[in-house]
Amino acid sequence: MDKHTTQPSLLDRLKAHAASDSIPMHMPGHKRNTALLGTDLPYNIDITEIDGFDNLHGASGILKDYMEEITDFYGTKRSFYLVNGSTCGILAGIRAATKRGGKIAVARNCHKSVYHAIELFGLESVYLMPEMDETFGIHGGISTASIAATLKQHPDTQLVVLTSPTYEGVVSDIAAIADICHAQGIPLMVDEAHGSHLNYSEHFPSSATALGADIVIQSLHKTLPSLTMTSLAHLNGDLVSPEELARQLAIFESSSPSYVLMASIDRCFRLLRDEGRRLFESYNQRLAGFSEKMQQLQHLEVLCHGNDSAVLHPTFFAFDKGKILISAQGTGITGQELSETLRSDHHIEMEMAYGDHALAMTSVCDTDAAMAALADALIAIDSSLNSAAGEHALNNGTLVFSLPEKQCEIWQALESEKAVCPLEQAAGQTAAEYIWAYPPGIPLLVPGEQISNGFIRQVRTLLEKGTRIYSDADGLPKNIQIMHQKNLVQ
């Protein structure tokens, strides 16, 4: 560890190189010419794989050392820098752990990139439906019973993939799920994109990296002080080859990785390694103060804050209190309207609004003033609202869905002959495109799934509440792509 703690940071090395008299007869094409281009962007530290700076996809020098620092600190078998976001890690992880055409068990509330992997690798998908949280009308955790039942029914499953924490902060029982998977020799991959902070404080649930998951993908930029597109991939156990994961990362990640982004990863890690305890202690106090203020709310509700608590949500194994999900159900305003009021009247930009919910994403970098401003704004808005009797119905414009009936595999639907169908006439047809709300990027409907009347009502309600719904062909809200009938002959 002495080597790790005494070597200069990547940013210091880049600054030293920028200050040298080295003439850049290499990429990138801006040639660090700040006299021409100015200093608004970090041209002077943006380099390529020159001597002394290693190569991410064949690391044997400083980048290898930096990644080993993270491996040692996190207690993983291998940890990898990602500069194409968590998406490239998810694609590479699924490919490394499955064979083409194999079977994969996937939580149905996974990110789009998981479905893209199923599509690209011709996998057979088996879906795990999250439990329902009846209070807020959102997805709860993935139950251990559903994992056990699915693997008993599908013993040829090659990989289990789930998201924990979810966008809203719901955490599943990763340790127990990992035990169930490993008892059958099946690896577990956890999309922990929204939980990169879980490694650094006992005030939050434990990270999947310490709970037996074989592959864990984390987005540093989502909840830690790191630049957008910076993530980590972690590997544990012996069920997935580290060499194969590295090979797949070289396929799905840029062959020209940004040194600016890698310096951001290194700087983020060093800051939290050296000052994380102090920073997270202050962060926890800010969240506790916010939660106490939320007890004043009469109409709005904040998930697991204020008068709400985790014990009221039996489908949660644990909860990430850094996620602040506000429900406006029954108040006469939508999540979108709440978000717009926060923006226009209080200068607060929320992470997401959908249906009756609005989400604030917090981190160690939120100031006391920022957290106080959010609390005060919610209290002020709450005082102007009335709770309307009879409007507290579940599924009233949320992203909640029942598991659609699968007619064929994703890749089969996408490679089929397609037809355009008016949405109102599409019930009973088979989707040939993805339908999703972004963020969080969870598909409401996946190619190969049957379109139901419930799905059509859900889309209508979300649109009425100001939620933007996307589709591959961009035909909504009027049309949806379906499989041509002749493709459905069994």
Q: How far is 83 from 231, CA to CA, in rounded Å?
A: 6
Q: How far is 303 from 290, CA to CA, in rounded Å?
A: 12
C-alpha distance from residue 408 to each of 126, 419, 446 (Å): 11, 16, 10
Whether residue 157 contacts residue 103, with contact meaning beta carbons closer than 8 Å, is answered with yes
3-state secondary structure of 357: strand
Q: How far is 435 from 270, CA to CA, in rounded Å?
A: 40
- What are the domain boundaries of the chain? 10-270, 283-384, 410-483
Domain at 283-384, CATH homologous superfamily: Aspartate Aminotransferase, domain 1 (3.90.1150.10)
Q: How far is 307 from 291, CA to CA, in rounded Å?
A: 8
- b/e 359-374 (16+ beta carbons within 10 angstroms → b): bbbbebebeeeebebb
One digit per residue, the tens of pLDDT, for the chain of length 490 reads 455 557 999 999 999 999 999 999 999 999 999 999 999 999 999 999 999 999 999 999 999 999 999 999 999 999 999 999 999 999 999 999 999 999 999 999 999 999 999 999 999 999 999 999 988 989 999 999 999 999 999 999 999 999 999 999 999 999 999 999 999 999 999 999 999 999 999 999 999 999 999 999 999 999 999 999 999 999 999 999 999 999 999 999 999 999 999 999 999 999 999 999 999 999 999 999 999 999 999 999 999 999 999 999 999 999 999 999 999 999 999 999 999 999 999 999 999 998 899 999 999 999 999 999 999 999 999 999 987 644 444 445 556 567 899 999 999 999 999 999 999 999 999 999 999 987 778 899 999 999 999 999 989 988 888 888 899 999 999 999 999 875 554 4
Chain centroid offset of residue 191 CA: 7
C-alpha distance from residue 138 to each of 26, 129, 180 (Å): 51, 12, 25
CB within 8 A of 307, min separation 6: which ones? 294, 295, 297, 301
CATH number belonging to domain 410-483: 3.90.100.10
Alpha-carbon radius of gyration of the chain: 23
Structurally, what CATH architecture does the domain formed by 10-270 represent?
3-Layer(aba) Sandwich (3.40)
Instruction: Dump strand ranges (E) for 337-455.
Output: 352-354, 357-361, 418-422, 435-437, 442-445
Q: How far is 162 from 142, CA to CA, in rounded Å?
A: 8
CB within 8 A of 429, min separation 6: which ones? 421, 450, 451, 480, 482, 483
Q: How far is 374 from 289, CA to CA, in rounded Å?
A: 12
pTM of the model: 0.94
DSSP secondary structure code for residue 331 in this structure: T
